[in-house]
Amino acid sequence: MRTSPYRLETQIEQIKPTSTEWYKNYIREILESDKSYFTKCDYISISFNDIQKKQDYISAEIKELQSLKKSLANAKEIALVATADVLAEYGIEKIEGTAVSSITITPEKTKTKDGIRIIDEDALITLGYAKVSVDEKAVAEAMTTIEGMDAIDKYVEVYSHTEIIPSRIKINKRRNNVVNQATELLKYTIEEAA
């Protein structure tokens, strides 16, 4: 088992499109060496295979980190909402802090998004509301005028999508450098309590 990369592997990692001559010279040195053809072949192929293994490893790590990032974002969102619920149970709208300015509860919001559902696509295409398929943007724009609505109303169904965004906490960071002092004070307080 090798603990350090082959020189060729390092050379491959450092190659740039604008400067390949030194790399070509190194390949020539390998081919012109006194080693057997099998050894030369193995040396070159193992170097490329190790590069591929590094790429595969990095890809797997990126995928795992993206999954972890998504999981942390979901967990954080759930915790923000749950914390807001508990603070609201106690009638707390805002808490002042030393390390952060404050924690406030954002009010619950309702977000409504209008959209259209195509009923008769062929009729809309015949009326000229099409790209390669129905141009939903043009249909939505036409539905804002009385003439357009009269022409296409029987081919389109209008709906509204409502999403309730629950209240959650917002951590308001301090704007000055008192954070370090506050953190030290908090650490000292915790140590004394223990």
Q: Is the pLDDT of residue 58 over 70?
A: yes
Provide the pLDDT for residue 169.
Answer: 64
Residue 187 lies in a domain: yes
Instruction: Determine the 3-state secondary structure of 2 from DSSP.
Output: coil
Q: Is the pLDDT of residue 179 over 60?
A: no
Provide the pLDDT for residue 194.
Answer: 59
| CB 104 within 8 Å of CB 172 | yes
Residue 1 lies in a domain: no
- Bridge partners of 106? 168
pLDDT (average), residues 7-28:
87
* Rounded Cα distance, 106 and 97, in Å: 17
40 and 123 in a common domain: no
150 and 119 in a common domain: yes
181 and 100 in a common domain: yes
Provide the pLDDT for residue 177.
Answer: 56
pLDDT (average), residues 29-44:
89
Residue 29 lies in a domain: yes
Instruction: Determine the 3-state secondary structure of 94 from DSSP.
Output: strand
48 and 31 in a common domain: yes
35 and 52 in a common domain: yes
Q: Quick check: pTM over 0.95?
A: no
Q: Which domain holds residue 38?
A: 7-56
Q: Which is more confidently placed, 13 or 70?
A: 70
What are the contacts of 120-129 at 24+ separation with CB within 8 A? 120/154, 120/155, 121/155, 123/152, 123/155, 124/152, 124/155, 124/156, 127/151, 127/152
Residue 74 lies in a domain: no
**What letter would DSSP give residue 90?**
T
For 4-53, the DSSP string reads S--HHHHHHHH-BTTB-HHHHHHHHHHHHSSS-HHHHHHHHHHHHHHHHH
In which element (H, E) is residue 171 found?
A: strand 168-172
145 and 113 in a common domain: yes
State how many domains the chain has: 3
141 and 123 in a common domain: yes
Buried b (16+ CB within 10 A) or exposed e, 44-70: beebeebeeeeeeeeeeeeeeeeeeee
184 and 145 in a common domain: no
22 and 98 in a common domain: no
**What letter would DSSP give residue 128?**
T
Residue 71 lies in a domain: no
Q: Is the pLDDT of residue 40 over 80?
A: yes
Residue 65 lies in a domain: no
Residue 88 lies in a domain: no
116 and 143 in a common domain: yes
101 and 113 in a common domain: no
% of residues, the chain, pLDDT over 90: 29
Residue 72 lies in a domain: no
40 and 17 in a common domain: yes
